[in-house]
Protein backbone atom coordinates (compact mmCIF):
# COMPACT_ATOMS: atom_id res chain seq x y z
CA UNK A 1 0.00 0.00 0.00
CA UNK A 2 1.17 3.56 -0.68
CA UNK A 3 0.33 4.96 2.76
CA UNK A 4 1.74 2.56 5.34
CA UNK A 5 -0.08 4.04 8.32
CA UNK A 6 -2.90 2.32 10.21
CA UNK A 7 -6.15 3.96 11.18
CA UNK A 8 -5.73 4.90 14.84
CA UNK A 9 -9.19 4.01 16.15
CA UNK A 10 -9.68 0.59 14.50
CA UNK A 11 -9.29 -1.34 17.74
CA UNK A 12 -11.65 0.85 19.75
CA UNK A 13 -14.27 0.63 17.01
CA UNK A 14 -13.94 -3.15 16.94
CA UNK A 15 -14.30 -3.38 20.72
CA UNK A 16 -17.48 -1.31 20.59
CA UNK A 17 -19.03 -3.51 17.88
CA UNK A 18 -18.03 -6.73 19.65
CA UNK A 19 -19.56 -5.46 22.89
CA UNK A 20 -22.77 -4.54 21.12
CA UNK A 21 -23.09 -8.00 19.58
CA UNK A 22 -22.22 -9.89 22.75
CA UNK A 23 -24.65 -7.85 24.85
CA UNK A 24 -27.41 -10.33 24.01
CA UNK A 25 -25.46 -13.58 23.85
CA UNK A 26 -22.34 -13.04 25.93
CA UNK A 27 -21.16 -14.91 29.03
CA UNK A 28 -22.21 -12.61 31.84
CA UNK A 29 -25.12 -11.98 34.16
CA UNK A 30 -27.94 -9.89 32.73
CA UNK A 31 -27.69 -7.38 35.54
CA UNK A 32 -28.87 -3.78 35.75
CA UNK A 33 -25.81 -2.42 34.02
CA UNK A 34 -26.32 -4.63 30.99
CA UNK A 35 -30.04 -3.97 30.83
CA UNK A 36 -29.51 -0.23 30.87
CA UNK A 37 -26.92 -0.01 28.13
CA UNK A 38 -24.88 -2.39 26.03
CA UNK A 39 -22.08 0.18 26.00
CA UNK A 40 -21.46 -0.58 29.68
CA UNK A 41 -20.11 -3.96 28.67
CA UNK A 42 -16.40 -3.34 28.39
CA UNK A 43 -14.51 -5.76 26.16
CA UNK A 44 -11.16 -5.92 24.45
CA UNK A 45 -10.40 -7.91 21.32
CA UNK A 46 -7.24 -9.92 20.74
CA UNK A 47 -5.66 -12.20 18.14
CA UNK A 48 -5.96 -15.36 20.20
CA UNK A 49 -5.58 -16.35 23.84
CA UNK A 50 -1.79 -15.97 23.99
CA UNK A 51 -2.05 -12.39 22.76
CA UNK A 52 -4.84 -11.61 25.21
CA UNK A 53 -3.13 -13.17 28.23
CA UNK A 54 0.18 -11.44 27.48
CA UNK A 55 -1.29 -7.97 26.96
CA UNK A 56 -3.55 -8.15 29.99
CA UNK A 57 -0.96 -9.52 32.42
CA UNK A 58 1.98 -7.46 31.16
CA UNK A 59 -0.03 -4.27 30.82
CA UNK A 60 -1.44 -4.65 34.34
CA UNK A 61 2.01 -5.30 35.80
CA UNK A 62 3.38 -2.17 34.13
CA UNK A 63 0.44 -0.04 35.25
CA UNK A 64 0.69 -1.31 38.84
CA UNK A 65 4.49 -1.32 38.93
CA UNK A 66 4.62 -1.13 42.73
CA UNK A 67 3.03 -4.59 43.01
CA UNK A 68 5.72 -7.19 42.43
CA UNK A 69 3.79 -10.35 43.30
CA UNK A 70 1.63 -12.39 40.95
CA UNK A 71 -0.14 -15.73 41.36
CA UNK A 72 -1.23 -18.52 39.11
CA UNK A 73 -2.95 -21.89 39.30
CA UNK A 74 -0.92 -24.60 37.59
CA UNK A 75 -1.94 -27.76 35.76
CA UNK A 76 -4.90 -26.27 33.90
CA UNK A 77 -3.84 -24.78 30.56
CA UNK A 78 -0.76 -24.17 28.44
CA UNK A 79 -1.64 -20.48 28.07
CA UNK A 80 -0.55 -19.59 31.61
CA UNK A 81 2.90 -21.18 31.29
CA UNK A 82 3.46 -19.33 28.01
CA UNK A 83 2.59 -16.05 29.72
CA UNK A 84 4.86 -16.27 32.77
CA UNK A 85 8.32 -16.03 31.16
CA UNK A 86 8.78 -12.25 31.44
CA UNK A 87 7.68 -12.26 35.08
CA UNK A 88 10.33 -14.81 36.02
CA UNK A 89 12.94 -12.79 34.11
CA UNK A 90 11.98 -9.57 35.89
CA UNK A 91 12.22 -11.09 39.35
CA UNK A 92 8.55 -11.09 40.34
CA UNK A 93 7.52 -13.00 43.45
CA UNK A 94 5.41 -15.74 41.87
CA UNK A 95 2.88 -17.55 44.03
CA UNK A 96 1.95 -20.86 42.37
CA UNK A 97 -0.59 -23.42 43.47
CA UNK A 98 -1.59 -26.58 41.62
CA UNK A 99 -5.31 -26.98 41.01
CA UNK A 100 -4.93 -30.37 42.67
CA UNK A 101 -4.00 -28.61 45.94
CA UNK A 102 -6.75 -26.00 46.04
CA UNK A 103 -9.09 -27.68 48.49
CA UNK A 104 -9.13 -24.50 50.58
CA UNK A 105 -9.35 -21.55 48.20
CA UNK A 106 -9.89 -18.87 50.86
CA UNK A 107 -6.84 -19.99 52.83
CA UNK A 108 -4.60 -19.63 49.77
CA UNK A 109 -6.00 -16.21 48.83
CA UNK A 110 -5.71 -14.96 52.43
CA UNK A 111 -2.05 -15.99 52.39
CA UNK A 112 -1.29 -13.95 49.25
CA UNK A 113 0.62 -10.72 49.93
CA UNK A 114 -1.57 -7.61 50.09
CA UNK A 115 0.32 -6.10 47.15
CA UNK A 116 -0.40 -8.98 44.77
CA UNK A 117 -0.94 -7.61 41.26
CA UNK A 118 -3.06 -10.42 39.83
CA UNK A 119 -3.83 -14.13 39.87
CA UNK A 120 -4.39 -15.97 36.59
CA UNK A 121 -6.17 -19.32 36.26
CA UNK A 122 -8.42 -21.29 33.90
CA UNK A 123 -12.06 -22.29 34.04
CA UNK A 124 -11.61 -25.38 31.88
CA UNK A 125 -9.11 -27.75 30.31
CA UNK A 126 -8.45 -26.92 26.62
CA UNK A 127 -8.31 -30.58 25.56
CA UNK A 128 -10.94 -32.44 27.55
CA UNK A 129 -13.34 -29.66 28.56
CA UNK A 130 -12.97 -30.48 32.27
CA UNK A 131 -14.45 -27.67 34.40
CA UNK A 132 -12.62 -26.64 37.57
CA UNK A 133 -15.15 -26.31 40.35
CA UNK A 134 -13.19 -23.89 42.54
CA UNK A 135 -13.03 -21.12 39.95
CA UNK A 136 -15.97 -18.96 41.03
CA UNK A 137 -14.99 -19.11 44.70
CA UNK A 138 -11.43 -18.10 43.78
CA UNK A 139 -12.74 -15.24 41.65
CA UNK A 140 -14.92 -13.99 44.50
CA UNK A 141 -12.16 -14.25 47.12
CA UNK A 142 -9.71 -12.34 44.92
CA UNK A 143 -12.26 -9.59 44.34
CA UNK A 144 -12.88 -9.29 48.07
CA UNK A 145 -9.16 -8.73 48.53
CA UNK A 146 -9.06 -6.31 45.55
CA UNK A 147 -6.66 -8.49 43.59
CA UNK A 148 -7.11 -8.65 39.83
CA UNK A 149 -8.67 -11.99 38.87
CA UNK A 150 -7.82 -13.14 35.35
CA UNK A 151 -9.87 -16.22 34.41
CA UNK A 152 -9.27 -17.96 31.08
CA UNK A 153 -12.12 -19.80 29.36
CA UNK A 154 -11.46 -22.12 26.45
CA UNK A 155 -15.06 -23.29 25.92
CA UNK A 156 -17.03 -22.77 29.13
CA UNK A 157 -17.99 -19.19 28.24
CA UNK A 158 -20.18 -20.44 25.39
CA UNK A 159 -22.48 -22.10 27.89
CA UNK A 160 -22.06 -20.57 31.36
CA UNK A 161 -23.01 -17.01 32.13
CA UNK A 162 -21.12 -15.49 35.03
CA UNK A 163 -21.03 -12.31 37.02
CA UNK A 164 -18.17 -10.08 35.92
CA UNK A 165 -17.00 -8.79 39.29
CA UNK A 166 -15.20 -5.42 39.61
CA UNK A 167 -11.64 -6.84 39.55
CA UNK A 168 -12.41 -9.71 37.16
CA UNK A 169 -11.26 -10.14 33.57
CA UNK A 170 -12.72 -13.12 31.74
CA UNK A 171 -10.49 -14.01 28.79
CA UNK A 172 -12.51 -16.05 26.30
CA UNK A 173 -11.27 -18.05 23.32
CA UNK A 174 -13.38 -18.19 20.17
CA UNK A 175 -10.77 -19.82 17.94
CA UNK A 176 -7.00 -19.77 17.48
CA UNK A 177 -7.11 -16.25 16.06
CA UNK A 178 -9.94 -14.65 18.04
CA UNK A 179 -10.22 -13.94 21.77
CA UNK A 180 -12.31 -11.47 23.74
CA UNK A 181 -11.75 -10.23 27.27
CA UNK A 182 -14.66 -9.03 29.43
CA UNK A 183 -13.48 -6.34 31.84
CA UNK A 184 -14.68 -5.66 35.36
CA UNK A 185 -15.43 -2.04 36.19
CA UNK A 186 -12.37 -1.65 38.46
CA UNK A 187 -9.88 -3.19 36.03
CA UNK A 188 -7.23 -0.70 34.93
CA UNK A 189 -4.58 -1.54 32.38
CA UNK A 190 -3.28 0.16 29.24
CA UNK A 191 -3.23 -1.61 25.90
CA UNK A 192 0.24 -2.56 24.69
CA UNK A 193 0.35 -3.38 20.97
CA UNK A 194 -3.31 -4.03 20.15
CA UNK A 195 -3.86 -0.34 19.42
CA UNK A 196 -1.20 -0.41 16.73
CA UNK A 197 -2.34 -3.59 14.96
CA UNK A 198 -4.48 -4.01 11.89
CA UNK A 199 -8.00 -5.29 12.64
CA UNK A 200 -10.48 -6.65 10.13
CA UNK A 201 -13.76 -5.91 11.89
CA UNK A 202 -15.94 -7.95 9.53
CA UNK A 203 -13.72 -11.03 9.85
CA UNK A 204 -13.46 -10.76 13.64
CA UNK A 205 -17.21 -10.38 14.17
CA UNK A 206 -18.04 -13.14 11.70
CA UNK A 207 -15.73 -15.55 13.54
CA UNK A 208 -17.44 -14.77 16.85
CA UNK A 209 -20.91 -15.20 15.35
CA UNK A 210 -19.91 -18.44 13.63
CA UNK A 211 -18.56 -19.96 16.84
CA UNK A 212 -21.65 -18.92 18.80
CA UNK A 213 -23.95 -20.51 16.24
CA UNK A 214 -22.01 -23.80 16.17
CA UNK A 215 -21.46 -24.40 19.88
CA UNK A 216 -24.01 -26.74 21.47
CA UNK A 217 -24.35 -28.99 24.51
CA UNK A 218 -25.84 -32.48 24.54
CA UNK A 219 -25.11 -34.38 27.75
CA UNK A 220 -27.27 -37.39 26.88
CA UNK A 221 -25.72 -37.84 23.46
CA UNK A 222 -22.20 -37.64 24.89
CA UNK A 223 -22.84 -40.07 27.76
CA UNK A 224 -24.69 -42.55 25.54
CA UNK A 225 -21.82 -42.62 23.08
CA UNK A 226 -19.19 -43.00 25.78
CA UNK A 227 -21.20 -45.84 27.35
CA UNK A 228 -21.21 -47.67 24.01
CA UNK A 229 -17.44 -47.36 23.70
CA UNK A 230 -16.91 -48.54 27.28
CA UNK A 231 -19.27 -51.50 26.83
CA UNK A 232 -17.48 -52.57 23.64
CA UNK A 233 -14.18 -53.07 25.44
CA UNK A 234 -12.33 -51.20 22.69
CA UNK A 235 -11.65 -48.12 24.77
CA UNK A 236 -12.37 -46.45 28.06
CA UNK A 237 -13.96 -43.15 29.02
CA UNK A 238 -11.62 -40.37 30.15
CA UNK A 239 -13.99 -38.93 32.76
CA UNK A 240 -15.56 -40.47 35.83
CA UNK A 241 -19.33 -40.23 36.30
CA UNK A 242 -19.14 -37.32 38.74
CA UNK A 243 -16.69 -35.18 36.74
CA UNK A 244 -17.58 -31.55 36.01
CA UNK A 245 -17.17 -31.01 32.28
CA UNK A 246 -18.41 -29.23 29.17
CA UNK A 247 -20.74 -31.60 27.33
CA UNK A 248 -19.86 -30.32 23.88
CA UNK A 249 -17.52 -33.28 23.27
CA UNK A 250 -16.96 -36.93 24.07
CA UNK A 251 -13.51 -37.99 25.30
CA UNK A 252 -12.32 -41.59 25.01
CA UNK A 253 -8.98 -43.39 25.19
CA UNK A 254 -8.06 -46.35 22.98
CA UNK A 255 -4.97 -47.76 24.72
CA UNK A 256 -3.90 -50.37 22.16
CA UNK A 257 -4.12 -48.40 18.91
CA UNK A 258 -2.85 -45.08 17.61
CA UNK A 259 -5.61 -42.50 17.99
CA UNK A 260 -4.31 -40.62 14.96
CA UNK A 261 -4.51 -43.75 12.80
CA UNK A 262 -8.00 -44.50 14.09
CA UNK A 263 -9.08 -40.95 13.33
CA UNK A 264 -7.72 -41.13 9.79
CA UNK A 265 -9.69 -44.31 9.09
CA UNK A 266 -12.87 -42.74 10.44
CA UNK A 267 -12.43 -39.59 8.35
CA UNK A 268 -11.91 -41.64 5.17
CA UNK A 269 -15.19 -43.46 5.81
CA UNK A 270 -16.90 -40.04 5.88
CA UNK A 271 -14.97 -38.80 2.83
CA UNK A 272 -13.74 -35.88 4.91
CA UNK A 273 -10.48 -34.14 4.12
CA UNK A 274 -7.94 -34.03 6.95
CA UNK A 275 -8.36 -30.25 7.14
CA UNK A 276 -12.12 -30.43 7.70
CA UNK A 277 -12.16 -33.72 9.53
CA UNK A 278 -9.69 -32.80 12.24
CA UNK A 279 -11.89 -29.85 13.12
CA UNK A 280 -14.55 -32.35 14.20
CA UNK A 281 -12.11 -34.77 15.79
CA UNK A 282 -9.13 -34.17 18.06
CA UNK A 283 -6.25 -36.18 19.46
CA UNK A 284 -3.12 -35.68 21.54
CA UNK A 285 -1.28 -38.32 19.50
CA UNK A 286 2.06 -36.91 18.29
CA UNK A 287 1.50 -38.15 14.70
CA UNK A 288 -1.42 -35.74 14.37
CA UNK A 289 0.96 -32.87 15.12
CA UNK A 290 3.63 -33.76 12.59
CA UNK A 291 5.82 -35.51 15.13
CA UNK A 292 5.87 -32.50 17.47
CA UNK A 293 6.99 -33.14 21.03
CA UNK A 294 3.71 -33.87 22.82
CA UNK A 295 5.53 -33.62 26.15
CA UNK A 296 5.97 -29.91 25.52
CA UNK A 297 2.49 -29.55 24.01
CA UNK A 298 0.59 -31.33 26.76
CA UNK A 299 2.54 -32.94 29.58
CA UNK A 300 4.51 -29.88 30.74
CA UNK A 301 1.40 -28.05 31.92
CA UNK A 302 -1.32 -30.71 32.41
CA UNK A 303 -1.93 -32.06 35.94
CA UNK A 304 -2.30 -34.82 36.77
CA UNK A 305 0.21 -35.51 34.01
CA UNK A 306 -1.30 -37.76 31.33
CA UNK A 307 0.65 -40.93 30.63
CA UNK A 308 2.23 -41.55 27.21
CA UNK A 309 -0.41 -44.24 26.67
CA UNK A 310 -3.23 -41.76 27.25
CA UNK A 311 -1.68 -39.18 24.93
CA UNK A 312 -1.23 -41.86 22.26
CA UNK A 313 -4.79 -43.14 22.43
CA UNK A 314 -6.93 -40.14 23.36
CA UNK A 315 -9.64 -39.03 20.92
CA UNK A 316 -12.04 -36.11 21.31
CA UNK A 317 -15.30 -36.26 19.32
CA UNK A 318 -17.48 -33.30 18.35
CA UNK A 319 -21.26 -33.40 18.59
CA UNK A 320 -21.40 -33.23 14.80
CA UNK A 321 -19.84 -36.69 14.60
CA UNK A 322 -21.84 -38.11 17.48
CA UNK A 323 -25.09 -37.07 15.79
CA UNK A 324 -24.21 -39.12 12.71
CA UNK A 325 -26.35 -42.25 12.44
CA UNK A 326 -24.56 -45.34 13.80
CA UNK A 327 -21.36 -43.37 14.39
CA UNK A 328 -20.34 -45.48 17.40
CA UNK A 329 -20.55 -48.67 15.33
CA UNK A 330 -18.62 -47.08 12.47
CA UNK A 331 -15.90 -46.08 14.92
CA UNK A 332 -15.73 -49.57 16.40
CA UNK A 333 -15.53 -51.09 12.91
CA UNK A 334 -12.60 -48.77 12.19
CA UNK A 335 -10.97 -49.80 15.46
CA UNK A 336 -11.21 -53.49 14.57
CA UNK A 337 -9.76 -52.81 11.10
CA UNK A 338 -6.68 -51.28 12.70
CA UNK A 339 -6.39 -54.12 15.21
CA UNK A 340 -6.51 -56.60 12.34
CA UNK A 341 -3.72 -54.73 10.53
CA UNK A 342 -1.62 -54.86 13.69
CA UNK A 343 -2.01 -58.65 13.93
CA UNK A 344 -0.22 -61.28 11.92
CA UNK A 345 0.58 -64.94 12.09
CA UNK A 346 3.87 -66.64 11.29
Q: Render each residue's pLDDT in the chain as its tens digit; 346 residues.
A: 688 888 889 999 999 999 999 987 755 554 444 443 444 679 999 999 999 999 999 999 999 999 999 999 999 999 999 999 999 999 999 999 999 999 999 999 999 999 999 999 999 999 999 999 999 999 999 999 999 999 999 999 999 999 899 999 999 999 999 999 999 999 999 999 999 999 999 999 999 999 999 999 999 999 999 999 999 999 999 999 999 999 999 999 999 999 999 999 999 998 989 999 999 999 999 999 886 677 789 988 999 999 999 999 999 999 999 999 999 999 999 999 999 887 665 5
C-alpha 191/C-alpha 154 separation (Å) is 22
**Domains of the chain, earliest start first:** 10-214 (3.40.640.10), 219-342 (3.90.1150.10)
Q: ∠ CA 338-127-266 to the nearest 5 degrees?
A: 25
Query: Do the bridges between strand 249-253 and strand 236-237 make them parallel or antiparallel, or are there none, so unpaired?
Result: antiparallel
Q: How far is CA 233 from CA 162, 256, 328, in A?
A: 39, 11, 13
The Cα-based distances of 54 to 59, 153, 193, 243, 346 in angstroms read: 8, 15, 10, 31, 58
- Global pTM reads 0.93
Amino acid sequence: MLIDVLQTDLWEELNTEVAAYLASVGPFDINEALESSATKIKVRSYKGLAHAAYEITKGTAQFMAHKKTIGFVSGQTDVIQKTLGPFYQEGFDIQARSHLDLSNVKEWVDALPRETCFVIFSEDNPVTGEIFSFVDELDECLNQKRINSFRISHANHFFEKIKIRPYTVRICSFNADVAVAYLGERFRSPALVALGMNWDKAFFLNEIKKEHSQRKLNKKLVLDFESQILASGAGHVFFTADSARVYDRAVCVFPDVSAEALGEVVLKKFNLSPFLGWQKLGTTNMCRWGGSDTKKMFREWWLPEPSPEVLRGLLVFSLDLLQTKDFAQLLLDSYHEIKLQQSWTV
